[in-house]
């Protein structure tokens, strides 16, 4: 069975008409706000132990990465609260322990030769 379509019908043109709104947007749309930038997330840390709150420092780097420095000698419990933006986006949380102090936060992390070369025990 063969179906015949009207050759004057243009699917692309019909799609454009359906997708375009007859009304202008009520407010200007900022395309940058749609992107999942770190600065648009509401991020809050809450510590259960009140005394521990004196022993941590919260630092935000120039690229928007947020780093928390804590005292290594005390155990702590962190409750992290996130408020996501209205636009759907991917959210990932990465916890990486770095053993540096807050005063050395801008220094490069150097690896020792033992960690960069092959281990002689396995060969």
pLDDT tens digit string along 32-56?
Answer: 554 444 444 555 555 555 555 566 6
Backbone φ, ψ for residue 98 (5° rounding): -115, 130
Average pLDDT over residues 6-35: 55
Distance CA(116)–CA(52), nearest Å, equals 36
Residue 46 belongs to domain spanning:
38-106
pLDDT of residue 40: 47
Does residue 75 lie within any of the structural domains? yes
**Model's pTM, two decimal places?**
0.31
Q: Is residue 28 part of a domain?
A: no
In percent, the amount of the chain with pLDDT more than 90 equals 0
Find the mean pLDDT for residues 78-93: 63
57 confidence band (pLDDT: 50, 70, 90): confident
15 belongs to a structural domain: no
Q: Is 92 among the domain residues?
A: yes
User: Residue 93: inside a domain, yes or no?
Assistant: yes
Residue 24 lies in a domain: no
How many Cα atoms within 13 Å fall on the side-chain side of residue 38? Answer: 11
Q: Is residue 116 part of a domain?
A: no
Residue 44, beta-bridge partner list: 81
Q: Give one DSSP letter per residue of 64-117, joined into a string.
A: S-EEEE--TTS---EEEEEE--SS--------------GGGTTS--PPPHHHHS
- State the total domains in the chain: 1
Average pLDDT, rounded, for the chain = 60
Q: For residue 49, what pLDDT is reported?
A: 56
Q: Are 46 and 81 in contact (CB under 8 A)?
A: yes
Domain assignment present for residue 11? The answer is: no
């Amino acid at each position: 069975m063969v179906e015949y379509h009207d050759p004057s019908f243009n699917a692309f043109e019909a799609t454009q008409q359906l997708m375009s709104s007859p009304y202008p947007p009520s407010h200007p749309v900022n395309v940058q706000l749609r992107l999942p930038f770190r600065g648009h997330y509401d991020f809050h840390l809450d510590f259960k132990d009140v005394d521990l709150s004196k022993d941590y420092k919260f630092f935000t780097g120039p690229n928007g990465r947020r780093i928390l420095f804590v005292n290594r000698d005390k155990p702590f419990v962190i409750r992290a609260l996130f408020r996501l933006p209205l636009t759907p986006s991917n959210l990932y949380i990465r916890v990486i322990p770095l053993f540096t102090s807050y005063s050395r936060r801008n220094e490069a992390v150097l690896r020792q030769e033992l960690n960069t070369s092959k281990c002689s025990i396995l060969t």
